[in-house]
Structure formats: structure tokens, C-alpha cells
Amino acid sequence: MKKLLVILGVLLGLAVVAVVVLTFTLGAIVTKGVNTFGPKITGTVVTLDHAVISPLSGSGTLSGLFVGNPEGWKSDKAFSMAKVHVSVAPLSVLGDHIVIKEVLIDGPEFVYETKIISSNIKDLLNNIEKTTGATSDQAGTKTATPTTKSGKPLKFEIKSFRLENAKVTLGVGPTAITLPMPPLVLTDLGTKEGGITPDQLAVKVMTNVLGNIVGAVANSALKLGGAAGATSSDAASGAVKGLKNLFGGGK
């Protein structure tokens, strides 16, 4: 009986060690994946400091995500996220179709700069769109996307995506204004398509984020006065002159 208890104790200890090792291994894989493919997808600096994923529950946290601005803008940052909480269907990580039950981003920070006919976020979105599977680069070849060991493209499906307590800073320097953004809730991303690639997912999310930013800018312009209806060139009918004056002239 005593020997049996010792054996069970050893097995339990090994199981705990295995779970801990697997947790850090999954986190390292996610971190490496973001840092490797992020810059290829956005065309900018992308860094993720740390990730922890539980192989048992599928829940995890990504810490310190930074996405840089495209070239030609004053700020080095397009946006940053201190914490991203995710819940993944555990068994799905073993295949090429990863099902994410929930993504919760709490308190992200965006920087929004405008020109006459564009913005830094719009340029970032354009960069991402150029690298989707449906588009090719100038040489006519498609940009590489993450694949599984079998060579199949890695696809994602997100059941629920929530962005809460976000802030956007308009402009750079002493004239910059920081505004709250409305919550963003998206559901069933990639469900109808049977999964979408990371770059296609980024396009879907960033398109909606851009709409949220423009909405926050428009609402602010109305409240601050003198620029009613001006929401930068990203809005359908944007009268950009009022916003350019409001934000210290833009770029």
C-alpha cells in the first residue's frame, strides 16, 4: 500500500510538471508566433512580451502587445494592449482550425494621426490588407501565413471578441487629445468561412476598430464645437479641415 502511494505521488508530481512545462511551451509558441508573423502582416514593429496558456482550461493571457505605426507618422505607436485575455477550445490547438471562445481586451490605447486623405490606422489597415491570402505583393507572390506541421494554413474562429475601456489619443505632442472609445463587440468571426487566417482576422478586427475610432472622433468634434460632422478622411463624407484645426494641424 505504501509503495502504491509513493508511485501515485510520483505520477502526480510528473503530471503537474508536465502541465507546467506545457503551459509555458504553449505560451512561448504564441509569443514567438506573434513576434514572427505580426511584423509580416502589419508591415510595422509588432512585439508581444509574454503569453501564458493553460492546456487544460484553454484560458490564457497575452501581456504587453505593441503595434508600431507605419512609416511616415510621428508616433512610434499605433496601439498597445497591456493585457489580452483569451479562452480557447483546448483540443482545437492540436489542429489547423483553432476555435477561440472569447477574446477580451480591456483598456487598450490607440494613437490616431490624420493627413488630408488618410490616417495612421487606415495605413496600418492597408498594410494588413496587402498581406491577406486574397492579395499579392508587388512581385506577385502571396505573403507567407502561419501553417501547421502538415503544411495547411492555420485558421482561426472567434466566437466572441470584446474591446472595452479603450482610449484613443488624437495627434501627437502638446495638442494631443485623449478620448474614450465606445465598446466594441464582435461575434462569430470566421465561423461562416470555416476559419480565417490571422491576416484576414486582423483586417476584420481593425476595420471595426477604425470605425470605432472615427465614431469617437466625430462625437468629440460635435461636443467640442466648430467641427460638427468632421470625422477625418476615413469617414464617408469627412470635412477634414475642422478636425485638422482641432488637432493642431495634423500632418
Residue 13 has pLDDT above 50, yes or no: no
Lowest mean pLDDT among 53-67, 106-120, 153-167: 53-67
Confidence of residue 218 (pLDDT cuts 50, 70, 90): confident
Confidence of residue 37 (pLDDT cuts 50, 70, 90): confident
Q: What pLDDT sits at residue 151?
A: 65
Longest pairwise C-alpha distance within the chain: 83
Query: What is the span of the domain harbouring residue 24?
Result: 2-135+146-246
Q: What is the CA radius of gyration of the chain?
A: 21
- Mean residue pLDDT of the chain comes to 75
Whether residue 174 lies inside any domain: the answer is yes
Q: What pLDDT sits at residue 230?
A: 38
Whether residue 115 lies inside any domain: the answer is yes
Q: What pLDDT sits at residue 148?
A: 58
Whether residue 140 lies inside any domain: the answer is no
Residue 57 has pLDDT above 80, yes or no: no
User: Are the beta carbons of 100 and 75 closer than 8 angstroms?
Assistant: no
The three grid cell numbers given for residue 40, joined into one nine-digit string: 509580416
Number of alpha carbons in the 13 Å side-chain half-sphere of residue 58: 14
Residue 238 has pLDDT above 60, yes or no: no
Lowest mean pLDDT among 56-70, 168-182, 214-228: 214-228
Whether residue 211 lies inside any domain: the answer is yes
- Bridge partners of residue 184, in order along the sequence: 163
The three grid cell numbers given for residue 24, joined into one nine-digit string: 509555458
Confidence of residue 66 (pLDDT cuts 50, 70, 90): very high
Residue 109 has pLDDT above 50, yes or no: yes
How large is the average pLDDT for residues 31-43? 87
Residue 158 has pLDDT above 50, yes or no: yes
Residue 80 has pLDDT above 90, yes or no: yes
User: Are the beta carbons of 194 and 136 closer than 8 angstroms?
Assistant: no
Q: How far apart are CA 123 and CA 145, in angstroms?
A: 20
Residue 188 has pLDDT above 90, yes or no: yes
How large is the average pLDDT for residues 144-172? 81
Domain count, the chain: 1
In whole angstroms, how far apart are CA 149 and each of 73, 93, 146, 157, 219?
Answer: 38, 12, 10, 19, 48
Whether residue 251 lies inside any domain: the answer is no
Whether residue 99 lies inside any domain: the answer is yes
Q: What pLDDT sits at residue 112?
A: 92
